[in-house]
Structure 1
């Protein structure tokens, strides 16, 4: 699978911000659920004010339970939680 340009571009911006020491972790509320989220932000300046650009939030609980990685046997698919189970 090809990672889209916007995601690669945002990742490069995040790396630059980290290298410059311009990252922040902010507590925000999820716009849909209203629950607290801990959001990774790049920090910039505009007209003398700080500007926080959100890039994503930290996973609740165990992040290994939150995501399915690419399938090493098929780069066009993902590892499935039911893989290997007999029907």
Structure 2
């Protein structure tokens, strides 16, 4: 299983934002359920405005229970 190019590009953007100190953790509502989510965002600027680009949310509970590694 190969990681798609768009996922690699997003990850590189996330790494650059982290290296530059331009990450934020925002409390948001899930668009479908309304549940509270803590969302990792890159922070940019447009003149005086801040721009937040969401990359994903932190897993609730034990993240080891939420994911499995790919099958060989």
Q: Shorter-chain TM-score: which interval?
A: over 0.9
Give the TM-score normalised by the residue count of structure 2.
Answer: 0.96
- CA offset at residue 48 of structure 1? 1.7
Structure 1 counterpart SS, 2:64: helix
RMSD value over aligned CA atoms?
0.7
Question: With CA pairs under 8 Å and 6+ residues apart, which has the higher RCO, 1 or 2?
Answer: 2
Q: How many residues are matched?
A: 72
Q: Which has the larger radius of gyration?
A: 1
Give the TM-score normalised by the residue count of structure 1.
Answer: 0.80
| Distance in 2 of aligned mates of 1:30 and 1:65 | 20
Structure 2 residues without counterparts, runs of 5 or longer: none
Structure 1 counterpart SS, 2:15: helix
**Corresponding residue number in structure 1 for 2:23:** 23
| Distance in 2 of aligned mates of 1:22 and 1:47 | 16
Structure 1 residues without counterparts, runs of 5 or longer: 75-87
Moved over 6 A (4+): none
